[in-house]
Amino acid sequence: MNSHELNDRYSRQERLPEVGIDGQKALSGARVLIVGMGGLGCPAAQYLAAAGVGSLGLMDHDTVNLSNLHRQILFRENDIGQPKAELAKQALQRINSEIEITAIPDWLTDENAVELFESHDLVIDGSDNFRTKYLINDASIMTDTPWIYASIYKFQGQISVFNYQNGPSYRCLFPTTTNRNVSCEEVGVMGPLPGVLGTMQASESIKMILNTGGVLSGKLKLIDLKTHKDQLIEIQRNDAEIKKVKHRGIKIEIFRCSLDSGNTFYLDVRDPFEEPQLDAMKVINIPMSRLDEKQSDIPDDQPVHVICQTGKRSRQAIEQLQTKYGFTNLVNVEGGIQAIMKKNKQETHA
């Protein structure tokens, strides 16, 4: 690439009065951490790399699988099985070789969050579970780092900027949740939805770096790609929630579901990060992706109740175990953990 082409790279955005030469310098000096390189993280990272954000941290513990490809647009068929963080780094470096990109193939935890947040100016939430969202929230308050939240459900999305210039935090909106994780795997999601939300997260990040104003702080934007009935809802800062975090530090939200298990043996086929965790006397965890490797750990001398979030994956698991390994003692927990939670809840409220 010759120097003329290099100078040309940002010319279309530099022409905007909000950017200019100084704005471009601000972008190249900015450090953004993206937690989760999935449906949200991929488009967000792509636009930030292309815009010349100088330093990007890409965090994801996971590897690519075929069902990711319809929405996680940085990955290709021959990437399957390889770590997302490293692959995303390579893909983005091909878009912009002039920026610094760090792959962090790890979980965000209460042990690494504060140090990571302190070395970045802002954080993009590309996570897909409540535990991580509350962790991001608390670490952002501890380190005074703004973050851009987004979440998706089927055709609907939520996006807001938290902890920005004395604005509200995620706990001001949802102080806690009793909700279980409902993953894209379970309920389905339209591919372009995280594309829209992740792109908006990139846009908010750029506005924050450039100080353009109009940042989505104190407001929750609700998007519905099916009906186009979008809404903008005002959120108030709740000082008590923020003080609580400052005082106690990071609080890991663990969601549990208790099973009236007695002697029942459960096989939980969900991934290890999925919530709620099960409280049961006898339970083994073997995620779908490791069934073949670990099938010999499953007892065959007593009934085993196979469970997942909604009963779909557990049914698949049973089919797989019966056909391939001849298990005859497997029972599906219809409706899965969601149905049990609903039942528990109704009993509590009755």
Partner 1 sequence: MSITVKLKYLGVIAEETGKAEETLELESNSADVASLKERCYETYSISDRDSIQVAVNHQMGKVGALKDGDEVAFLPPFCGG
**By the rule CB under 8 A, 341 interacts with partner 1:** yes
Binding partner 1 (rule: CB under 8 A), the pick from 13, 24, 129, 169 is: 129
**By the rule CB under 8 A, 127 interacts with partner 1:** yes
**By the rule CB under 8 A, 66 interacts with partner 1:** no
Binding partner 1 (rule: CB under 8 A), the pick from 184, 196, 306, 337 is: 184
Among residues 174, 148, 189, the alpha carbon closest in space to that of 45 is found at: 148
Among residues 182, 203, 189, the alpha carbon closest in space to that of 337 is found at: 182
Binding partner 1 (rule: CB under 8 A), the pick from 77, 346, 347, 350 is: 346
Least distance in angstroms from the C-beta of 183 to partner 1: 7
Least distance in angstroms from the C-beta of 111 to partner 1: 22
Tell me which stretch binds partner 1 (CB under 8 A): 140-148, 228-236, 278-286, 322-330: 228-236
**By the rule CB under 8 A, 136 interacts with partner 1:** no
Give dist(CA 346, CA 350) in Å, integer.
Answer: 6
**By the rule CB under 8 A, 338 interacts with partner 1:** yes
Mention every residue, 6+ apart, whose C-beta is less than 8 A from residue 223: 156, 157, 158, 159, 193, 196, 197, 230
Binding mask 241-280 toward partner 1 (x if CB under 8 A, else -) reads ----------------------------------------
Among residues 340, 229, 226, the alpha carbon closest in space to that of 283 is found at: 340
Least distance in angstroms from the C-beta of 54 to partner 1: 25
**By the rule CB under 8 A, 311 interacts with partner 1:** no
Tell me which stretch binds partner 1 (CB under 8 A): 7-15, 174-182, 286-294, 306-314: 174-182
Q: Which is nearer to partner 1, 67 or 236 (CB)?
A: 236
Both tokens of 320, joined, read: 């797989």
**By the rule CB under 8 A, 289 interacts with partner 1:** no
Q: Which is nearer to partner 1, 24 or 217 (CB)?
A: 217
Task: Say if residues 41 and 202 touch (Cβ distance below 8 Å).
Answer: no
Q: Which is nearer to partner 1, 39 or 167 (CB)?
A: 39
**By the rule CB under 8 A, 173 interacts with partner 1:** yes
**Residues 20 to 59: which contact partner 1 by CB under 8 A?**
36, 38-41
Tell me which stretch binds partner 1 (CB under 8 A): 23-31, 179-187, 202-210, 318-326: 179-187
Q: Scanning the structure block, which residue is given the tokens 């000082």?
A: 239
Least distance in angstroms from the C-beta of 93 to partner 1: 23
Binding partner 1 (rule: CB under 8 A), the pick from 163, 169, 183, 310 is: 183
Binding partner 1 (rule: CB under 8 A), the pick from 130, 147, 162, 266 is: 130
**By the rule CB under 8 A, 151 interacts with partner 1:** yes
Binding partner 1 (rule: CB under 8 A), the pick from 82, 90, 236, 302 is: 236
Residues that bind partner 1 (CB under 8 A): 36, 38-41, 125-130, 133, 150-154, 156, 158, 173-174, 176-184, 187, 189, 194, 220, 222, 227, 229, 231-236, 238, 338, 341-342, 345-346, 349
